[in-house]
Amino acid sequence: MYFDSTPTPAFQLSKAFSLESLLDFFYFSVVTITTLGYGDILPLNYLSKLLVSFEVLLGVMYAVVGLSLILVNKDTDELIAIEMKKILEDR
């Protein structure tokens, strides 16, 4: 197994805001909310860890709600098709 000896980049919310740090925050946020979790950037302080935990839960909820909407709409579409078929047959 190969272990990289380079230090893992980390961030704190108190870090000075520059374009580079904002891009790092955005990258980390996208990786976190999509639940990919590359692990190449880590939060350091407790506030950062709390916000990251919230974002992970939010990403999981997006997946759950999105899947449930797809499944609910599938059943609804089938019911609409049945009702339309009944209406057309009655004519």
Q: What is the pLDDT of residues 49-70, one digit of tens each?
A: 898 889 889 888 888 888 888 7
Specify the pTM.
0.58
Q: 79 is written with which tokens?
A: 């019911």
The structural domain count of the chain equals 1
Full domain range(s) for residue 38: 10-90
CA atoms of 80 and 31, how far apart (whole Å): 38
With cut-offs at 50, 70 and 90, classify the pLDDT of residue 1: very low
Residue 5 lies in a domain: no
27: CATH: 1.10.287
Residue 4 lies in a domain: no
Residue 2 lies in a domain: no
State yes or no: pLDDT of 47 exceeds 80: yes
Residue 52 lies in a domain: yes
